[in-house]
Amino acid sequence: MNNGCMIDLRTPGELDAMRPAGRFVASVLEATRAASVPGANLLEIDALAHRMITAARAESCYIDYHPSFGASPFGKVICTSVNDAVLHGLPHDYRLAKGDLLSLDFAAKVDGWVSDSAVSFVVGGDESPQDHALIATVEEALARGIAAAQPGGRLGDISAAIGEVAHAAGYSVNLQFGGHGVGTEMHGDPHVPNDGRAGRGFPLRPGLVIAIEPWLMVGTDEIYTDDDGWTLRSADGSRTAHVEHTVAITPDGPLVLTARG
């Protein structure tokens, strides 16, 4: 049962064709992270990503993106979420300060195939113990979620693995936004919640490609939308972090298409 969802399974040849998009998305996140130093403007980071898209003859998944929850087309090519912003951070005229907690989320299409990935880090490199714990938790949740993406398993195995890490570290989990299917479009079925029960949900079959994306907030599981109509912030103003990889299920286990480094 897929409850009416349209879920595509990719052939080995199609998975090979998706690899360039994954490599490109990884390269843009590496470049924009390196450029995210104290004093850098969020609009400069967006412009760098835009130049890389143009040079690669890729397509932005964000600039014309206008889902029901967005106030208008996004208009930029990368999400830059700072401190209490956790998702969909709209780049604006803001200069990063040492100690800011920044999440970069980027998706692009190369030769008709999409990849999507995100990273969180502290600008300038100095992490408070709280920031270190938060980032370490979302990264561990992502690693555990990927490890659970095994052929023959269920989607709930991934959700349960993520949620287990979050709850063990003392965080609550928001289920309004989560991972998703990836293919010729950025968002597709199935939805991948960041908490759930193992052994439940859609079967994990070879050829399934999903974005796995844990995100957490220090003091709450509630969010609100900023006046810009896009940026989602923690309801209590606490710090946030978000990480993501595009992952293919293969007969040999999970394949991370957006691996960096």
Q: Does the annotation place 92 within a ligand binding site?
A: no
Task: Please tell me whether 180 is known to bind a ligand.
Answer: yes
In this structure, what are the phi and psi dihedrals at residue 157, rounded to the nearest 5 degrees? -60, -40
Determine if residue 139 is labeled as part of a ligand binding site. no
105 in a known ligand binding site: yes
Q: How many residues does the chain have?
A: 261
| Residues 258 and 110: beta-carbon distance below 8 Å | no
Residue 90, both tokens = 């709209």
Asked if residue 193 lies in contact with residue 154, where contact means CB atoms within 8 angstroms, the answer is no
245 is in an annotated binding site: no
Asked if 55 and 69 count as a contact pair (C-beta separation under 8 A), the reply is no
Per the listing, tokens 């090519």 go with 77
To the question of whether residue 226 is assigned a binding role by annotation, the answer is: no
Contact 256, 247 (CB under 8 A): yes
The CA distance from 144 to 55, in Å, is 35
Q: Using CA atoms, how far apart are residues 4 and 190, in angstroms rounded to an integer?
A: 10
To the question of whether residue 50 is assigned a binding role by annotation, the answer is no
Extract the annotated binding site for substrate: 88, 187
Extract the annotated binding site for a divalent metal cation: 105, 116, 180, 213, 244
Extract the annotated binding site: 88, 105, 116, 180, 187, 213, 244
